[in-house]
Structure 1
Amino acid sequence: MSAQTVVAKATDQAYQGGVLIKLIIFSLTLGILPLGSYFLSDKYLWNGNSIYSAITAIVAANLVLVSYIVLSLMEDRQDQKDMAATANAVQESKKSR
């Protein structure tokens, strides 16, 4: 196998476990945080005003979604940098032959 294939397989195996765990965590957070914030803010913060509690739940859900998107973009940029570095290393090794 070429060096590039070995690096690609190792990178894929390392990221697959982390990506799945992050997806599970964000999915659970997206289900639990808005519901919890709705009921807790309805009872303790807004004293029964369901409109403000719903707005609180919407803000909580949007925060989770935005944080997931930002984290995904940061990981994608890091992956692109890693692939560029790997490509440069392979090209330099070919030049030295």
Structure 2
Amino acid sequence: MSGQAAPGELVAQPAEQQGGVLVKLIIFALALGGVPISAYFLSRDYLWEGNANFAAITAIVSANLVLVAYIIESIREESRTRAQEKQQQPAESKKDR
């Protein structure tokens, strides 16, 4: 399981790190619910002058942008976590091998 997260590894994470992940998940979940709906109505009324088809396309694009932003943020967070783990591990010397 070198590349996958095991349940034991998730429990071993610090509590403040788990809380940060939960907050980000909640923020992105709310954004995924609110951004497309507001994009639909705002673009229908102010951008496309009542054209519901273009407003729906705008909502779809905005939902995909939120999903892509979540994926990018999760990749960046994983990179930061791995960098912190490497800093915490002592350097292996030739004697230890």
Q: Do they fold alike, i.e. is TM over 0.5?
A: yes
Q: For residue 88 of structure 1, report the CA deviation from its aligned partner.
A: 2.2
Pick aligned residue for 1:64 from 55, 66, 74: 66
Is 1:14 matched up with 2:16? yes
TM-score (norm 1): 0.78
Greater RCO, CA 8 A, separation 6+ = 1
In the alignment, structure 2 segments of 5+ residues that lack a partner are: 1-10
Gaps of 5+ in 1: 1-7
CA RMSD between the two structures: 1.9
Q: Which stretches of structure 1, 4 residues or more, deviate above 3 A after TM superposition? A: none
Deviation at 1:84, TM superposition (A): 1.2
Higher helix share: 1
Return the offset for 1:55: 0.7
Aligned length, in residue pairs: 84
Q: Distance in 2 between matches of 1:58 and 1:69?
A: 17
Q: Could you tell me which amino acid in structure 1 is paired with residue 17 of structure 2?
A: Y
Q: How do 1:1-97 and structure 2 match up within 5 A?
A: 11-88=13-90
